[in-house]
Every structure is written in structure tokens, then in C-alpha cells.
Structure 1
Amino acid sequence: MPKFKGPGLSVLKKKIRDNERLLKKENLPANIRVEHERALLGLQEQLSMAQLEHKKQKIFERYKKVRFFERKKAERRIKQLEKSLKDETMDDEKRKQCEKSMRKCQIDLMYIKEYPPLTKYVSLYAEGTSEQTEETRNRIWAEMEERFNSGRKHKIPSSGSNRVPVQEKSSTGGDLEDEFLQR
């Protein structure tokens, strides 16, 4: 996951404090007050997005190693199943069982790669976990299975998950606000 690009949290908080201090002045002309109120709203939005990205990054870094090992395990299992499916001497019943296992492993891989970024990662292959953990794992796995069956395999937020769509920077009007904020 790439690092968040943009002003840091402390820079945004400082700009917000500066604008709030300026807006506390009573003898501020109306047009300047309106400009700074708009800038304050924009800065607060930027701060919330930056905090969200910071939280995503923190969670990603915490569970990166676990997800790596689980991904390797799932990929290795898929590779083994592909190899066994190439075997032409396999009977139909065993082939169906391998295809079913292959589908399950593909959903497992999707679970690992597409896990909701703002949620504590629940390991797929951990044993001896609590009922609540099992319930969370099964709920998210079922969501991934539904997405897999519908053909929405990658990078599509599903309902109920806490994925946040990335906002694209518009080419019109964005430069004016940036110039204003840098004064």
C-alpha cells in the first residue's frame, strides 16, 4: 500500500488552528471571513481524509506479514490444484472435488487481498479462535464468495464494508484553493 501523499496531519491541524484563530477576530471583513470559512471546511475535509489514510496505512503495516504468509499459502495450494487438474487420468469425482477446492482457494486468496482496509485483519488459517472472530471471518469470507460468484473480483467496494472510495483531484478549481492555502 503506497504511503499517503499530501500534507501531513500536523500541517493540516496547524492550518486549521490558524484559520480558526483568524475567524475569531471580530473586525474581519465579510469577504475574507467567507473565504477563510470555506478554506476551513476544505481543510477539515482534508484532515479527515488524511486521518483515514493514516489509519489504513497503520492497519496495513500491522498485518502485512500475516497476510503475506497466508497469500503464499493460498497461492501454493492453487498451484498444487492446477497441477493436479492437468492430470488426465483423474476420475470425474476427484476432478470435481479438486475444482471445488480450487474455487475455495481462489476465494481465500481474494479474502486475503481484498480484506476491508479499516478493519483488524482476521487470519484465515488461524485455529483456536473465539466465536466472535470465527463469525467475523465467516461473514467477510461469505461477502468475498458473493463477490467472486458475481464476477466482481477486484477493487470493487461491497456494501457493508468500510472501504472508502478514493477521491480524484479535479482539474478545475483545485489550483485556486491550493494557492490560497499556501499563503
Structure 2
Amino acid sequence: MATKRPHSAIHPSRREQVPQDEQPRRKRQKPDHIHGKSFKKAHTVHELRTHIRSLKRLLEHNDDLPADVRVEKERALQTAQHELAETERAKERSDMIGKWHKVRFFERQKASKRLKRARRAVAECEDLAGKVELEARVEEAEVDVNYAMYFPLGMEYVPLFPKRRRRSEGAEGGEGDGGQGVGGDEERQGDQKVWQLVRRCMEDGQLEALRNGKLTGSRAEGDAGSVVTTHKKRAKEKRRAPNVVVEGNRRERRSALAAHADSEAESEGGFFE
């Protein structure tokens, strides 16, 4: 039986093709990020709560902690509490998205069909008065589409077209989705406050902020109210400011202004007025 030639006897051009028995093949390693746990598993709510509880016990039961250690543990406690709040908020948001995903999808499809019918009706209409009314319905149908798309993800979704409404309309009249009801108030339900907020955000270009929960109805309504309140305060302060020109030093001017303010207070309101 012929003996096997040593590796050195093989031609250099064929050495890469001949397997080497002395050196076993190294197993291909996977990237580091595949071996590690995902962010959701690495930052569980249970671990964060345990960490917060241990930090609270450490700070409450150890009064002789050094100042720098106590400050460090207090900062760690605040960080853990913030992470816990963010994790719980993200979980609630994820659950809410999964709960209403199908409803929002089908309502967006239905609102898009109503919008197409409304635009077709505007294009086919020749009467000027009827065209104005149909254009208003087109605007409402556009708001309906954006309502289904940009309703705040962290809030409980309020359907525009509930199933009970559709069934009752189908049982009574047959065509509950006819062309006469395009964008009509009798068919649309939903949350009217959010619907109006979507309409304002369409004009301001803030639909994405509304969808991500960065804009709420109270905030949008409070901006105008705060401006009005500020103007009222300034007008009130200007009205109360005494328009008296007094000559003399600082003490004399101050006493004269105080006397003028007292006289105005007496003249504005009596004792039993």
C-alpha cells in the first residue's frame, strides 16, 4: 500500500485545495450582537423594580452612608425609576397599537374609499352650489382618513364607524354606504375632540407629533388660552399702573405713588360694595 505524501511534497499551487488533517477547521463565529439578549429581555420590568426596591432599602436603612455614596445611589434610583416609567409606557403603547391595529386599518380603507367617491362626485358635479357642498364633504373625508392614520397611538382608539352602526344601517336600508352619505355627520362617530384636533393639525402640519403622543388636545387648546390670558394680565397691570409724574428724590416719589394707589383703592371699592 502506497504511503501518503507529506504536505510539503504537494505543489504550492494545490496546497490550498488539499485539506490539512493536523489543523481542524475553526468554527465560524457569529457576531456579538446575535449572542446577547434583546433590549426587551435585558431591561425587564421585574429587574428594574427589584433594583429600585433594593436602592430604596439601602437609602432608608443606612443613615451612616458617606455623602458621595448617598448622592450616587440617589441618582441611580432616579435613573431606574425613569427607566421603569419609560418601559411601562412603551409596553402600554405597544399593547394599544396591537389592540386597535386591525380596526384602524379597516377604517382607513373605508375612509379612503369614501374620499375617492367624494372626489369623483366633485369632478362630475356641474352645479356650483352643489360643488361647494361636495368640496366640504371631501375635506371631511380627508380628516376621516387622517383620523384613522394619526389618532394618538397611546390612547384608546374610538372607531369612526362602529360595527353596530354598520349592521343596523345594512339591516334597515340596504346601502348604508351610499354616495349621499359621503362624509356625513349621521354616519361618522368617533371622538369629536380628536377629530377637530386632527383637522387643526392638518393645517399646522403636526400630524406626526399628534400620532406619537407629543401633542394633546389640552395643549393645543391651551396655547390660545395662554396668549389671551397673558394679554389680559398685561392690560390689567397697565390699567393698574399709576400714571402720575412726581418730582423729587426717590423716597418722595415712592411715598407719592403709594398714596395715589391707596386713593385709587378707596375709590374703586367701598366697604360694603
CA distance in 2, matches of 1:9, 1:109: 36
- Give, as a single letter, the amino acid of the residue that structure 2 aligns with 1:55: E
- Given candidates 151, 163, 173, the residue that maps to 2:204 is 151
Give the secondary structure class of the aligned counterpart of 2:191: helix
- Given candidates 110, 116, 120, the residue that maps to 2:146 is 110
1:168 corresponds in structure 2 to none
Contact 1:19 1:36 in 2 (8 A): yes
Provide the identity percentage.
26
Pairing 1:34-73 to 2, within 5 Å after superposition: 34-73=71-110
1:180 corresponds in structure 2 to none
Ranges of 4+ aligned residues in structure 1 off by more than 6 Å: none
1:15 corresponds in structure 2 to 51
Contact 1:19 1:40 in 2 (8 A): yes
Q: How far apart are 1:64 and its partner, in Å?
A: 0.9
CA distance in 2, matches of 1:135, 1:86: 27
Q: How far apart are 1:70 and its partner, in Å?
A: 0.2
Q: How far apart are 1:51 and its partner, in Å?
A: 1.2
1:121 corresponds in structure 2 to 157
- Give the paired residue count: 151
Cα separation, partners in 2 of 1:95 and 1:135, compared to 1, 3 Å:
closer
41-50 vs 24-33, which moves further: 24-33
- Given candidates 192, 196, 220, the residue that maps to 1:142 is 196
Q: Deviations over 1:128-179 (max 9, x none)?
A: 5xxxxx997222222222333x333512313427xxxxxxxxxxxxxxxxxx
Matched, 1:160 2:218: yes
Cα separation, partners in 2 of 1:40 and 1:72, compared to 1, 3 Å:
same
Give the secondary structure class of the aligned counterpart of 1:160: helix
The CA RMSD measured in Å over matched residues stands at 2.8
Superposition TM-score, scaled by structure 1 size: 0.68
- Give, as a single letter, the amino acid of the residue that structure 2 aligns with 1:122: V
Cα separation, partners in 2 of 1:153 and 1:104, compared to 1, 3 Å:
farther
Q: Which ranges in structure 1 are unaligned for 5 or more consecutive residues?
A: 129-133, 162-183
The structure with more radius of gyration = 2
Cα separation, partners in 2 of 1:135 and 1:32, compared to 1, 3 Å:
farther
Higher relative contact order (CA 8 A, sep 6+): 1
Contact 1:110 1:153 in 2 (8 A): no
